[in-house]
Amino acid sequence: MTILTLSKLTKRYGGTTVLDEVSLDIAAGERVALLGHNGAGKSTLMKLVLGLIHADGGRIEVAGHAPGSAVARSLTAYLAENAAFHPAITGREQLCYYLRLRGQPVKQADELLEKVGLADAATRRIGTYSKGMRQRVGLAQALIGNPRLMVLDEPTSGLDPVSRREFYALLDELAAKGTAVLLSSHALSELEARTDRMVILAKGKQVAQGTLADLRSDAALPLTVTIFPKAEQAPQVAEAFPEAQIFEDRVTFTCAPDEKLAVLERIVALRGHIADYDLHAATLDDLYSHISRRVA
C-alpha cells in the first residue's frame, strides 16, 4: 500500500523555483532517504508533506488524504533537526502534554521514554538534558499513536554512535510494522544499510532515485581492489597485476564493475601468494559526490 504520493510537486517563492516537478511514492514499511545539499529543497518538500505550506503545482497525498488535513495529521509524525522543549518541565511532563494533544493515554509516557532510552531521566527537567537527550524526547513524541508516516529531518543530530544504532533499530521495528519513513540526513554512511531507497535533490530537481545497487549501476564507478601478499611474495603479485600501485604491504588497483569476476579469478589463481584481499564498491558518499559533480 502506498502511504505517501508526490506527483510533479512544484513550489516557488517569488521568481525562484525551489522544487521542480518532484515525483515520489513511499510504500508502507519502506524507508526512503532524502539527500541533497543545503538549499536543495529537502526542508521545503517536508513542509509540503506536513501541510505547513502549499504547493504551486502537482499533487501530494498521505494515504489518500490531503496533507494538513485532520486525517493526514493523525497519520503523520514529525521530528525536526533541533527539537526544542520548555526547559523547566520534566521529560515525563513533556510527553504527557504531547499525549494529551494527540488524544492518547498519558500512562504511555513512561513506556515511550523507556523505548528511547530516557527512563532514568524521566523526572529530570529538560533544561538539564544534553542535545542528544532532547533529540530522544523528540523521537519519543514522534512515536505517539503508531504513525503510518514518519518525517524525520536530520533525526540523529546530536546522538552518539550507540544512540544512533538504537535509533535505527527503532526505525527498523517501525518499518517492519508497516510505517513509511521519509528522512533526510547528511550522515550518508549510516544510511547505506538502514534505508531501502535514496532520492537525491539538487537545486530543487530530483536528479537520482533508487536503491544503493541502482545508484552504483547508474554511476558505474570503479571498484577498489587491495591485495595483501604473503611474506616475500609481493614481486609475484605485482607481476600478475601490472596495472596496480605497489606499496610496502599491499597492492592496490581499480577495476570496472563488470570486471569484478575476472579480477577475482586472477586473485584465485594467485592464492598461494596472497594472504588476504579486499574489494570495495563505491560508497553512498562516493555516489553522492559523483552525482553532484555530474549535475553541476
- Domains for the chain: give ranges and CATH numbers: 2-210 (3.40.50.300), 218-295 (3.30.70)
Q: Kindly report the CA angle at 250 between 223 and 248, in degrees rounded to 5?
A: 145
Enter the DSSP assignment of 112.
H
Amino acid at the residue 147: P
8 Å CB contact between 227 and 199: no
Does residue 296 carry a pLDDT above 80?
Answer: no
Among 40, 43, 61, 45, smallest CA distance to 10 is for 45
pLDDT for residue 295: 81
Residue 131, Cβ neighbours under 10 Å: how many?
Answer: 12
Beta pairing partners, 278? 226
Reading the block at residue 195, the C-alpha cell is 534505508
pTM higher than 0.75: yes
pLDDT in tens, 95-151: 999 999 988 999 999 999 998 889 999 999 999 998 888 888 998 999 998 899 999
> pLDDT by residue (tens digit) across 240-280?
888 888 888 889 999 999 999 999 999 999 888 999 999 99
Residue 204 has pLDDT above 80, yes or no: yes
Query: Please, how many CA atoms are within 13 Å of residue 183, restricted to the half-sphere of its CB?
Result: 30
Q: Write down the mean pLDDT value for the chain.
A: 91
Are 177 and 28 in contact by the 8 Å Cβ rule? The answer is: no
- Where do the H-state alpha helices sit in the chain? 42-50, 70-75, 91-101, 109-115, 131-142, 161-176, 212-219, 234-240, 260-269, 284-295
pLDDT band at residue 33, thresholds of 50, 70 and 90? very high
d(CA 151, CA 198) in angstroms, rounded, equals 14
Distance (Å, whole) CA 173 – CA 168 = 9
Handedness of CA 234, 239, 245, 251 (dihedral sign): negative
pLDDT at residue 49 in the model: 96
**CA 20-39-290 angle, 5° bins:** 85
Q: Which amino acid is at 67?
A: P
| Coil, strand or helix at 177 | coil
Q: What Rg, from alpha-carbon coordinates, does the chain have?
A: 24
Nearest by Cα to 250 from 279, 270, 229: 229
What pLDDT is recorded for position 87? 94
Give 41-89 pLDDT, tens digit per residue.
999 999 999 999 999 999 999 999 999 999 999 999 998 877 789 999 9
Q: How far apart are CA 42 and CA 207, in angstroms?
A: 13
Q: Quick one: pLDDT at residue 80?
A: 84
Q: Does 158 have pLDDT greater than 80?
A: no
Measure CA 271 to chain center.
Answer: 39
